[in-house]
């Protein structure tokens, strides 16, 4: 963890529960729980289903949301494929907790964390662009993403079962970048 970076941030999520949750950087023992949350979102084809082993190797890239009882209910990966380029990946909320504002809080925490490093580009791939547009992202043409970033994203996708490759590679995916506003 970088100096000056807080490990915990308590928030009150959406209007449905009002229950406080904790947003924090993941630790190694979270890898299995992160993999479970990703698998619970397998219907979202833009979510890459990483194994707990792959997650463990990249655990410092993950942000998680926990309930007061410490159960992990949401995760996101903030990758830095290049020093000045960040990719937001694997934003997932357990289906039982969707609609409570946890995804919005997680994206906001990741954007704020990324902006502390002042990236030239913060981008993502999604099958849900309308939701991310409401959170401050804008669509971007394929040609505006450097080829090395696309190849790195392709490498990430190969860490999941080959049976998911067609849906993850194809489908109605949209490239988006942070536009700088909430």
Q: 62-100 pLDDT, tens per residue? A: 999 998 777 999 999 999 988 998 999 889 999 999 998
Give domain status of residue 59, yes or no. yes
**pLDDT at residue 57 tops 90:** yes
Give domain status of residue 2, yes or no. no
Banded model confidence at residue 1, pLDDT cuts 50, 70, 90: very low
Q: 141-151 pLDDT, tens per residue? A: 877 766 666 66
**pLDDT at residue 133 tops 60:** yes
Give domain status of residue 32, yes or no. yes
Give domain status of residue 3, yes or no. no
Percent of the chain with pLDDT over 70: 74
Written as six digits, the tokens of 102 are 């946890």
What is residue 175's predicted lDDT score, i.e. its pLDDT?
84
Give domain status of residue 66, yes or no. yes
Range of weakest confidence among 2-11, 16-25, 114-123: 2-11
Give domain status of residue 135, yes or no. yes
Give domain status of residue 91, yes or no. yes
String of b and e for 22-55 (b: at least 16 CB within 10 Å)? ebbbbeeebbebbbebbebbeeebbbbbbbbebb
CA distance readout (Å), 99 to 23, 35, 96, 140, 151: 17, 21, 9, 26, 33
For the chain, what is the domain count?
A: 1
Task: Tell me the residue range of the domain where 171 lies.
Answer: 8-178
> What CATH number does the domain containing 51 carry?
3.40.630.30
């Amino acid at each position: 963890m970088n100096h000056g970076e807080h490990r915990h941030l308590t928030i009150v999520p959406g209007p449905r529960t009002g229950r406080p949750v904790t947003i924090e950087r993941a630790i190694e023992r979270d890898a299995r729980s992160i993999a479970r949350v990703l698998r619970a979102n397998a219907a979202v084809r833009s979510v890459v289903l990483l194994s707990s082993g792959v997650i463990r190797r990249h655990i410092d890239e993950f942000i998680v949301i926990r309930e007061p009882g410490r159960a992990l209910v949401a995760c996101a990966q903030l990758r830095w494929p290049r020093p000045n380029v960040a990719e937001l990946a694997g934003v997932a909320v357990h289906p039982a907790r969707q609609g409570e504002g946890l995804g919005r809080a997680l994206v906001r925490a990741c954007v704020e964390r990324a902006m502390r490093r002042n990236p030239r580009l913060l981008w993502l791939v999604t099958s849900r662009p309308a939701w991310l547009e409401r959170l401050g992202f804008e669509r971007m043409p394929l040609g505006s993403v450097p080829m090395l970033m696309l190849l790195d994203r392709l490498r990430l996708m190969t860490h999941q079962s080959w049976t998911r490759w067609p849906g993850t590679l194809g489908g109605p995916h949209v490239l988006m970048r942070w536009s700088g506003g909430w």
